[in-house]
Amino acid sequence: MPRSKEGYVLTPWEVSGDIDYDDLVDRFGTSRIDNDLKKRIEKLAGDVHFMLRRNIFYSHRDMKWILDEYEKGNKFALYTGRGPSGHTHVGHLMPWIFAKWVQDKFGVDLYFQLTDDEKYLFNFDLEMEDTHSYALENALDIIALGFDPAKTHIFIDTDYIHTLYPLALKVAKRVNFSTVKAVFGFDNSTNVGSIFYTSMQSAPCFLPSDREGKKVPVVIPCGIDQDAHFRVTRDVAETIGYYKPALLHNKLAPSLDGTGKMSASIPKTTIFTTDSPEDVEKKVSESFTGGRISAQEQREKGGEPDICAVQNYRYYLFEPDDAKVRSIADRCRSGDLLCGECKGMLKENIKSFLKDHQERREKARSSLEDFLLKD
Ligand code: TRP
């Protein structure tokens, strides 16, 4: 299991401590998204998404090959997913927002997996009805982002198992217990469903090829914590007659208390897409900042935007304009901007985002069937 000297832990199921993203690139053997790759993407897309510009998407596998193929007229498909263990929080939206941008710019299909099976298997306190109903709720958040229904295919594992199972079996036959033990830290007490699970998350990598009747390159935008699954997938892909999936990895969204990753299990420091304006007020008010003990001290010494959760939220999600982010940081450092006013600005950003999102989310209930793949 990736447990570094620095003491952080990052697996698909556990993230804690101060994640060293550079270290992960070295340990996982991925590649950094360098300026050349960014420029190539920018040239083909016509612009560059702020998450690329800011190195929030910062690591990849095989993207150069994907762009070579695209330039030859061989389109890729996008694949990403979500484990429905609860309501969606705004950190989950990051790779989805980015996937939407890629879909719009490159005109490609998106396959979206909702792994109700995974969350049932890995959480003893969740029943199958729970994970299935969260899957439907999470699907509303995906649709609310404005994906094109003609090009977007969402599926819940247990409702699409007839199609997924043969693909999962092809993977499962070639992955042995010692591999998943080493990659995920499983042991003899791990339930057998969990041991099988990576085969299920691998299956959609091959779904576009089966549906189109030819080998289709696949790009997976996802949090770097998911890379472990796809290392396993990539090892078997070619032996079963498909391309290896390519990946675009994002850093994980920070929590509001300034420690590590936004986590659904700590609701106080996490903004959910279903939160009310009052929830947002309270959570942002109580969040960790780079402010000083007193207003007077802050006016004299200035604040520390680099360690501030409020500024981080802005940077990762809620303020795409670099100039605005910079000017807020400058005002903070100079002592001109105090935390109250600064939090107020973020609250307005989040509340207006959630107001629109929640409206679109309710409307999505009537268009769910246009998106869902079922057997
Ligand atoms: N395992 C992921 C989670 O817990 C869900 C998932 C399934 C996923 N397929 C994916 C995430 C593909 C990223 C890309 O959230």
Residue 226 alpha carbon to ligand 1 centre in Å? 7
Bigger pLDDT: 4 or 61?
61
In eight-state DSSP terms, residue 354 is H
Which is the closest atom of ligand 1 to the Cα of 204?
Answer: 9
- Residue 372 and residue 369: Cα distance in Å, rounded? 5
Query: Hey, how many other C-beta atoms are within 10 angstroms of the C-beta on 230?
Result: 24
Angle (nearest 5°) at CA 270 between 264 and 273? 85
- The class (CATH top level) of 9-252 is alpha beta
Question: Ligand 1 atom closest to Cα of 220?
Answer: 14
CA-based nearest residue to 322, from 53, 21, 11, 7: 53
Mapping DSSP onto H, E and C, the string for 111-136 reads EEEECHHHHHHHCCCCCHHHHHHHHH
Each residue's pLDDT tens digit, 112-163: 999 999 999 999 999 999 999 999 999 999 999 999 999 999 999 999 999 9
Question: Quick one: average pLDDT of 155-173?
Answer: 98
Contact 56, 63 (CB under 8 A): no
- Would you say residue 3 has pLDDT above 60? no
Nearest Cα residue to atom 10 of ligand 1 = 81
Ligand 1 is surrounded, with C-beta below 6 A, by: 12, 80-83, 113, 115, 118, 201, 220, 222, 226
Give the predicted TM-score (pTM) of the model.
0.96
59: CA distance to ligand 1 center in Å?
17
Flag whether pLDDT at 283 surpasses 80. Answer: yes
Nearest ligand 1 atom to alpha carbon 223 = 13
> Could you tell me the residue ranges of all domains in the chain?
9-252, 267-363
pLDDT, tens digit, 9 for 90 and up, residues 79-93: 999 999 999 999 999
Q: Which residue has the tokens 């609250």?
A: 347
Nearest CA to ligand 1 atom 5: 82
Q: Where are the alpha helices (DSSP H) in 145-246?
A: 161-172, 177-184, 192-202, 207-212, 227-237
Query: Could you tell me whether strands 110-114 and 77-82 are parallel, antiparallel, or unpaired per DSSP bridges?
Result: parallel
Nearest ligand 1 atom, CA 95? 13
Q: What per-residue confidence (pLDDT) applies to 4? A: 52
CA gap 250, 98 in Å, rounded: 10
CATH entry 1.10.240.10 includes domain 267-363: yes
* pLDDT value, residue 236: 98
Residue 285 has pLDDT above 90, yes or no: yes
The C-alpha atoms of residue 257 and residue 340 are separated, in whole angstroms, by 16
Which pLDDT belongs to residue 315?
A: 95
Mean pLDDT of 330-357: 97
What is the whole-number distance in angstroms between the Cα of residue 219 and the centre of ligand 1?
A: 13
Q: Which of 13-22, 129-138, 265-274, 282-291 has the highest mean pLDDT?
A: 129-138
Q: Which helix (H) or strand (E) holds 318?
A: none
Name the residue of 123, 220, 226 whose CB sits within 8 Å of the most ligand 1 atoms, as the mutation to test its pocket: 226
Distances (CA, A) of 336 to 288, 309, 313: 19, 18, 20
Q: How far is the CA of 342 from the centre of ligand 1 (A)?
A: 34
pLDDT tens digits along 254-266: 777 777 677 777 7
Q: Which mutation among 229, 249, 252 tests ligand 1's pocket best, with the greatest number of atoms within 8 A of CB?
A: 229
CA distance 60 to 24: 12
CA 87-158-358 angle, 5° bins? 25
Q: Which of 342, 334, 326, 328 is nearest to 301 (CA)?
A: 334
Best mutation site among 61, 112, 115, 247 for ligand 1, i.e. most ligand atoms within 8 A of its Cβ? Answer: 115
Residue 108 and residue 102 in contact, taking contact as beta carbons nearer than 8 Å: yes
Return d(Cα 246, Cα 374) in angstroms, integer. 26
How many Cβ atoms are within 10 Å of 271's Cβ, its own excluded? 25
**What pLDDT shows up at residue 6?**
61
From the CA of 222, how far away is ligand 1's center (Å)? 7
pLDDT digits (tens, 9 = 90+) for 295-304: 999 999 999 9
Q: Give the ligand 1 atom nearest the CA of 13.
A: 4
The alpha-carbon radius of gyration of the chain (Å, integer) is 21
Q: Which two tokens stand for residue 91?
A: 């950190």
Query: Which residues, at least 6 apart from 292, have a Cβ–Cβ distance to it below 8 Å?
Result: 298, 301, 303
